[in-house]
Amino acid sequence: MHTKSAALSLLSGAFALVVTFSAGCSKNPADSPPPTITPASAAVSPPAAGAVPGVVRPLPAPGLAAVFDPRTAALTVLGPADRLTVFGAHPRTVTLPSPARAVAGDGTGRVYLATRGGYLRVDLANGAATRVDVTGEADTDFTAITVRADGRLVLGSADGAVLTLAAGDSANAVSARLKIFAHVDGLAAQGNSVVVLDRGQTSVTEVDDDGTKAEQALRAGEGATTIAADPAGRVLVADTRGGALLVYGTEPLILRQAYPVPDAPYGLAGSPGLAWVSQTATNTVVGYDLSTGIPVEKVRYRTVQQPDILAYDDASGTLYVVSGSGGGVQVIEKAAR
């Protein structure tokens, strides 16, 4: 367990990085993006040691991304190529119209996936997959996607653009474009506010509701890799290279908590009580209570190999750990105890 003083020391250091980053910018924080670094990545996990808690369901391939849908009580796992595996009342494998890079859900039975030239919409009740081409973006490699509270989709691209789509069930028109990043590696929505993760700049940036400008841009540790929103209105970021969990508030974007997490933290999931972080160097997942202002470890579990992806079912308290090496999906019921 880490001490309170260690957490405060890390928070002070992280805040200093934020101040330095902000001070180096002009009045518009995105006018002069910082130079890029080699992006951080998850550790290559050792083989899993013995049996792990919960049940492990087989997965035909390594997981790339996952999302839990409360309406259908289904976990959707994106695999390589064009396959989507749905675990729920009616398990199925969905063949996608094109390969996808990222997945997001609307919480009402649909998931959306970023693909080259547009996005895919999948109805989890029947497995129907529909491709939607975004106007004027046929050659754009979309790498991230999220759904705002108002239902509008936001896409991020490999060339550093964030596109906010028009309203509508099958929107294909771009209502706003913001191209200020080196590469968009992740998007997280809190309400209609969207936070952008750029691994090469190890930065997080909050985009305004119109999608036309950056409100705030902050340095995110030494090598941020993943981002997730939680039910309490926070945005969680894993600083894999720096070994930390970073917790942000939005509107305005501000670093609220920073806590040492060793062993290459990577997978993230928010839940009503705990923030979940996987440690890829040791095949471990830890649940932290954030309510006191400094994260407090509450539970810890051994996991399947390469626990790159986490998802959580708020209703049942089930934690899903998806292996990035083909080790399956670990299902831990009542994980928060």
Q: What is the pTM of this model?
A: 0.90
Asked whether the CA dihedral 307, 101, 245, 221 is positive or negative, the reply is positive
Per-residue pLDDT tens over the stretch 254-287: 999 999 999 999 999 999 999 999 999 999 999 9
Segment 205-222 mean pLDDT: 97
Least-confidence region, from 7-11, 70-74, 196-200, 202-206: 7-11
Residues 228-250 pLDDT 10s: 999 999 999 999 999 999 999 99
Per-residue model confidence as pLDDT tens digits over 67-89: 999 999 999 999 987 899 999 98
Lowest mean pLDDT among 12-16, 112-116, 159-163: 12-16
The boundaries of the domain holding residue 256 are 226-336
Has residue 103 been placed in a domain?
no
Length of the chain: 337
pLDDT of residue 235: 99
pLDDT of residue 60: 85
Residue 127 within a domain: no
71 located within any domain: no
Residue 144 confidence (pLDDT) above 60 = yes
User: Residue 148's pLDDT band (boundaries 50, 70, 90)?
Assistant: very high
Reading the block at residue 226, the tokens are: 């993943």
Give the CA angle between residues 154, 90, 322 to the nearest 5°: 55
Q: Which of 110, 161, 163 is nearest to 134 (CA)?
A: 163
Rounded distance between C-alpha atoms, residue 337 and residue 322, angstroms: 20
Whether residue 180 is predicted with pLDDT greater than 90 in this model: the reply is yes
**Mean pLDDT confidence for 138-152:** 98
* pLDDT higher than threshold 70 for residue 167: yes
Could you tell me if residue 170 is inside a domain?
no
CATH value at residue 236: 2.130.10.10
| Domains identified in the chain, total number | 1
Which letter does DSSP use for residue 62 in this model? -
Residues 280-313: pLDDT tens digits? 999 999 999 999 999 999 999 999 999 999 999 9
Average pLDDT value for the chain:
91
Residue 168 pLDDT: 83
| Average pLDDT rounded to a whole number, residues 203-224 | 98
Tell me the two tokens of residue 191.
């309400």
**Residues 20-79: tens digit of each pLDDT:** 333 334 345 545 555 899 999 999 999 998 899 999 999 989 999 999 999 999 999 999
Cis bond before residue 252 (omega within 30° of 0): yes
| Whether pLDDT at 204 is above 60 | yes
Average pLDDT over residues 97-101: 96
Residue 261 domain-assigned (yes or no): yes
- pLDDT attached to residue 33: 53
In a domain, 260, yes or no: yes
pLDDT of residue 24: 37
Q: Which of 149-153, 169-173, 262-266 has the lowest mean pLDDT?
A: 169-173
Residues 48, 264, 51, CA angle at the centre, nearest 5°?
15
Among 314, 265, 309, 308, residue whose Cα is nearest residue 286 = 265
Determine, yes or no, domain membership for 328. Answer: yes
Residue 95 maps to a domain: no
pLDDT number for residue 34: 53
pLDDT digits (tens, 9 = 90+) for 124-139: 999 999 999 999 999 9
